[in-house]
Structure 1
Amino acid sequence: MWTLQDAKNRFSAVVDAALSGTPQEVTRRGKPAVVVLSTQEYRRLIADARGQRPAFANHLLSFPAAEIPRGKTKPRDVSF
């Protein structure tokens, strides 16, 4: 894990480590901020994510068709 300042000072080392197959985590003010990884690994992650996700229309169509019971509470009286 790199601090932001160290990552800026040694950016070539961060990139070399990411290219060798080890994603590099960078923190800002002690909190995780970003991960540097190779383009190959990034594209693999994106392809995997797209392959696991159904189309949005299919997601909507998978909603149960049964009637959803509505609450029986009455609205409160409001005077203007």
Structure 2
Amino acid sequence: MDWQLQDAKNQFSKVVQKARTEGPQVVTLRGEQTAVVLSIEDYNALKAGRPNFVDDLLGGPAWDADMARAVEDRPEWPHRDVAL
């Protein structure tokens, strides 16, 4: 069901209840679909199996032997002399 923003604000508990029992509720602003209210079950189903940001970073492309060697052989500069 579509809800105009003003109606969704005034009847938010009803919007949430309908999201729980009838499925996603669409909120419109000036006639354009703007937001969706979901039940936690629907939200969790959307999230299931999706990697998070850390998984994305750690799951980057594998390094081939040339790349690994280039990283290992890089110069160890610049150094800061902490004794000064």
- Report the equivalent of 1:8: 9
Equivalent AA in structure 1 for residue 35 of structure 2 = V
Unmatched 5+ residue regions in structure 1?
Answer: 62-80
Aligned length: 61
Distance 2:23 2:36 in 1: 10
Structure 2 unaligned segments of length 5 or more: list them.
63-84
Normalised to the residue count of structure 1, the TM-score between the two structures is 0.59
C-alpha distance in 2 between matches for 1:47 and 1:40: 10
SS of residue matched to 1:12: helix
Q: Given that residues 2 and 24 in structure 1 are in contact (C-alpha distance below 8 angstroms), is that contact kept between their aligned partners in structure 2?
A: yes
Identity %: 43
| 2:34 aligned partner, one-letter code | A
Counterpart-to-counterpart distance in 1, 2:5 and 2:40: 21
Alignment of 1:1-80 (within 5 A): 1-50=2-51, 55=56, 60-61=61-62
Mapped contact 1:7–1:26 kept (Cα < 8 A) = yes
Q: Is the 8 Å Cα contact of residues 21 and 38 (structure 1) preserved in structure 2?
A: no
Aligned to 1:64: none
Measured on the aligned residues, the alpha-carbon RMSD in Å equals 2.5
Structure 1 segments, 4+ long, off by >3 Å, are 54-61
The alignment partner of 2:36 has SS state of strand
